[in-house]
Structure 1
Amino acid sequence: MTSSAPANVPTVDQVVDRLRAIQAGLPGGDGVGVFNQVYLTVTELVRDRLAAAYFDDPATVATLDGVFAARYLQAVDDAAAGARPSACWRPLFDLRGHPGIQPLQFALCGMNAHIEYDLPVAVLDTCRATGREPQDVEADYHRINDLLAQVEARVREELLPEPTALRVADPLLHVVGVWSMDRARDAAWASIVGLWELRQVPPAYRAVLAALDGSVGMVGRALLTPLDGQGRLP
């Protein structure tokens, strides 16, 4: 079965170009910019792996990458137009300039929105567009998650500030401990399986999807709990 991308889905190279353009237009310290740089790194890794025969079905992975990216890019466009993005993205865009939030918090908040909500929706949309079922893409899904885990580990190492005393590190570690990549990707796959089974019951599907959007947004808000200039909870 061949893969055919939904209409208006960007290619991986187009996603990389757009993310670079977004990054170039954002001021230093912008919370969206922190996540955008992380996402650019992930997308460049996916692009490189696509060229290296890393995936079982590279055509479908390329489609998924574009569908996935389009959701974040839509949130960027909505915010630029003065519209509110979906609930999962609102904490990041609402608090992107808050001085009491550390860069690691912004990075994890964006990853939370994109993995726990956008990724399930993107997988479902890709399956519908390509005539596949979730189990057909599961192996490559986990390969993508392995790349995400590599980036998450690097982000935590690079963005977690060196503590000068325990009181500086502890509150930040407590806040970012709300979220982990392993739990997020397991939850995302559970959402994919559950929503796929509900696809023939549109009212239930829409209700569960709306609840997921809101609950992911709540976790994002918790991740962006402001800390004072010394890393303490206010």
Structure 2
Amino acid sequence: MPHDEVEARMQALVQSWEESSDQRSIFLKCYLMMTRNMHLAIQLDEFRDPDWVDHLVNHFAGYYFMALEAYEQDPAAAPPVWQLAHRAARDPDLIGIQKLLLGINAHINYDLALAVVDMLKPEWGELSDGLQEDRYVDYCHVNEVIGSTIDEVQDQVLEQVMPAMELIDTLFGPLDEKVISSLLGHWREKVWHYAEQLLKAMDVEDQVRLRLELERDAIKIGHTIGFTDRA
């Protein structure tokens, strides 16, 4: 899906959800901001292989839309970590930052590993050490784009649903943004290593085991964010 179509589809959903007070808009509005900033960074030639990064960004978005479509048709058909995030968006006992982080958790700690594997698998056996490094460096540069977006997300998304965030931002300045940026960077580093393990897995049993482990870890993080039982 071309990046302009990705952004347009996200924007339409955000508008619809905001009009209907559906708080799934919290995560998606954040994701739209980050996606726009990623496309801008690509246009500014910030990556070693901008075409590869552009393909990854748009392919990654496809996982979000697939999970959403599955949930809309039959909630039980969506990946469990996304079931958790979508249910949480409608939970009045959870605050905005929890709903945001639950969406980010599902998309980074589950979807991203699968998207990276999809992108690297066709070329993995032929990539030189230098090209593997290029892929990793580009992947890591995304952390900087995310970090530069967090303040915007806090101002335009979280403060709308959590007025106290403005006070927190005033009292602590960039500290809270650095904490969130560091957390997401940690998650993305772990995801890269999961992707490498999946790419190196020689048989189907190992691949299935790793994918289930990936899913379990994401669900565990989700329950921690949402303060829910793991049962």
* Superposition TM-score, scaled by structure 2 size: 0.79
Distance change in 2, residues 1:148/1:214 (3 Å): same
Partner of 1:145: 143
Indicate the residue corresponding to 2:64 in structure 1.
Answer: 72
> How far is the alpha carbon of 1:22 from its aligned partner?
1.1
Q: Which moved more, 1:217-226 or 1:63-72?
A: 217-226
Larger mean CA deviation between 58-67 and 210-219 belongs to: 210-219
Determine which of 86, 91, 94 is the counterpart of 2:84.
91
Q: Does 1:57 align with 2:49?
A: yes
Tell me the amino acid that sits aligned with residue 220 of structure 1.
G
CA distance in 2, matches of 1:96, 1:182: 24
Uncovered stretches (5+) of structure 1, i.e. residues with no partner: 1-9, 166-172, 227-234
Match for 1:122: what amino acid?
A: A
Alignment-mate amino acid for residue 213 of structure 2: A
Aligned counterpart in structure 2 of residue 186 of structure 1, from 165, 184, 189: 189
Is residue 152–residue 181 contact of structure 1 (8 Å, CA) maintained in 2? no
How far the C-alpha of 1:221 sits from its partner, in A, is 2.4
Residue 124 of structure 1 deviates from its aligned partner by: 1.0
1:120 corresponds, among 100, 106, 113, to: 113
TM-score (norm 1): 0.78
Q: Which whole-Å CA distance do the structure 1 matches of 2:102 and 2:151 have between them?
A: 15
List per-residue Cα deviations over 1:191-233 (Å, max 9, x = no partner): 12222211x222111111122112202211221238xxxxxxx
Q: Write the distance in 2 (CA, Å) between the matches of 1:65 and 1:110.
A: 17
Q: Whole-Å Cα distance in 2 between the matches of residues 29 and 189 of structure 1?
A: 35
| 2:94 match: secondary structure | coil
Write the distance in 1 (CA, Å) between the matches of 2:28 and 2:195. 24
Which of 203, 224, 227 in structure 2 is aligned with 1:225? 227
Asked if 1:107 corresponds to 2:100, the answer is yes
- Shift in Å at residue 30 of structure 1? 2.7
**Contact 1:11 1:62 (C-alpha < 8 Å) held by counterparts:** no
- Note the residue ranges of structure 2 that are not aligned, 5 or more in a row: 168-175
Which has more helix, going by share of residues? 2
Aligned to 2:211: 209
- Once the two structures are superposed, the pairs formed by residues 168-187 of structure 1 within 5 Å of their partners are 180-187=183-190
Q: Output the CA distance in 2 between the equivalents of 1:130 and 1:44.
A: 27
Query: Is 1:195 paired with 2:186?
Result: no
- Aligned-pair Cα RMSD in Å: 2.8
Distance 1:129 1:70, change over 3 A: farther
Is 2:24 aligned against 1:22?
no
Task: Check conservation: 1:11, 1:66, Cα contact below 8 A.
Answer: yes
> Is the CA contact 1:46–1:144 (under 8 Å) kept in the aligned structure 2?
yes
CA positional deviation for 1:38:
0.5
The one-letter amino acid of 1:48's match is L
Q: What percentage of aligned pairs have identical amino acids?
A: 22
Q: List structure 1 runs of 4+ shifted beyond 4 angstroms.
A: 129-134
The one-letter amino acid paired with 1:212 is L
